[in-house]
């Protein structure tokens, strides 16, 4: 499954990344035999889907290449592939691109047996994984016609290994806008102490990421982990409040 997320580069510029996450969990050992990185840059940040598909199909048929993902940054769309063979890659691909479009391009290849491009350059870190998960929830809410800018009660899930960690973490929230909604313990789990923290806020991606960045340091201080958030449609939240007040 391909997922998309954004981050900032070392210069603070926005980078959009598309990556096939399923490859990381694939049991197909033959994939690692594709130790050559084939890259192809197109001078546009709005690469047409049909053009991208033609490029992928060309490299799949010509080099049995595996498309792993894309970066969009600084006016370029950068497509990345792994393959076992790169003979004639620059000439063949250059000719193909010249016949396909008038856009400027760059192509090249190099050895990458450790798949650094995939695992280091494209693969999302913890913050980016949360962004991907958040976007799925937001998309589902919007599919139901929800206005994500409306504030409502939002639950954030956190886990810890030790009761003492929980106690210190809860104290650290004393001056925050979070309140402890639920708490539970599962003796069979490594991180057995689970907390549900509730806070009133909108659920657009900017607000969600701001809230997460506020709470993450406190979670990390106690060696816990953040397991995402959930909420109701804004209209359902209003109905619940009216029932509580009746």
CATH number at 2-122: 3.30.70
| Global confidence as pTM | 0.88
Residue 54 phi, psi (nearest 5): -65, -40
Domain ranges in the chain? 2-122, 139-245
pLDDT of residue 246 exceeding 50, the answer is: no
Percent of the chain with pLDDT over 70: 96
Helix (H, G, I), strand (E, B) or coil at 161: coil
Q: What's the angle, vertex CA 140, arms to CA 77 and CA 220, rounded to 5?
A: 75
Give residue 94's pLDDT.
96
At 99-151, the pLDDT tens digits run: 999 999 999 999 999 999 999 999 999 999 999 999 999 999 999 999 999 99
For residue 217, give both structure tokens. Answer: 């340091």
At 165-188, the pLDDT tens digits run: 999 999 998 778 899 999 999 999
**Cα gap 172→219, rounded to integer Å:** 10
Q: What's the angle, vertex CA 103, arms to CA 67 and CA 108, rounded to 5?
A: 45
Percent of the chain with pLDDT over 90: 88
**Cα gap 199→180, rounded to integer Å:** 9
Using 50, 70 and 90 to split pLDDT, how confident is the model at 235? Answer: confident
Report which of residues 239 and 73 the model is more confident about.
73
- HSE on the CB side for 121, CA within 13 Å? 15
Report the b/e string of 169-179 with b at 16+ CB within 10 A: bbebbeeeebe
Same fold, 2-122 and 139-245: yes
Pair 94, 39: CB distance under 8 Å: no
At 32-58, the pLDDT tens digits run: 899 999 999 999 999 999 999 999 999
**Cα gap 125→18, rounded to integer Å:** 13
CATH number at 139-245: 3.30.70.970
For residue 70, give both structure tokens. Answer: 């894309």
Q: What is the mean pLDDT of residues 1-30?
A: 93
Using 50, 70 and 90 to split pLDDT, how confident is the model at 244? Answer: low
Chain-centroid distance of CA 40 in Å reads: 22
Helix (H, G, I), strand (E, B) or coil at 15: strand
Please give the mean pLDDT across all residues of the chain: 94
């Amino acid at each position: 499954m391909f997922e998309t997320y954004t981050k900032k580069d070392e210069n603070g510029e926005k980078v959009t990344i598309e990556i096939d996450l399923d490859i990381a969990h694939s049991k197909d050992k033959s994939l690692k035999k594709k130790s050559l990185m084939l890259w192809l840059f197109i001078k546009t940040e709005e690469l047409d889907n049909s053009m991208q598909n033609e490029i992928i199909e060309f490299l799949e048929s010509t080099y049995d290449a595996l498309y792993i993902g894309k970066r969009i940054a600084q006016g370029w769309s950068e497509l990345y592939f792994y393959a076992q063979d790169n003979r004639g890659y620059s000439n063949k691909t250059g000719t193909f691109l010249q016949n396909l479009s008038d856009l400027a391009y760059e192509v090249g290849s190099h050895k990458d047996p450790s798949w650094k491009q995939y695992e280091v350059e494209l693969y999302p870190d913890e913050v980016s994984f949360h962004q991907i998960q958040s976007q799925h929830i937001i998309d589902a809410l919007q599919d139901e016609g929800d206005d994500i800018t409306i504030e409502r009660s939002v639950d954030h899930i956190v886990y810890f290994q030790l009761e003492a960690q929980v106690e210190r973490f809860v104290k650290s929230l004393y001056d925050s806008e979070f309140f402890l909604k639920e708490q539970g313990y599962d003796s069979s789990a490594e991180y057995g102490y689970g907390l549900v923290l509730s806070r009133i806020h909108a659920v657009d991606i900017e607000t969600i990421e701001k809230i997460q960045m506020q709470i993450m340091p406190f979670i990390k201080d106690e060696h816990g982990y953040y397991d995402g958030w959930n909420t109701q449609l804004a209209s359902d939240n209003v109905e619940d409040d009216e029932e509580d007040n009746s």
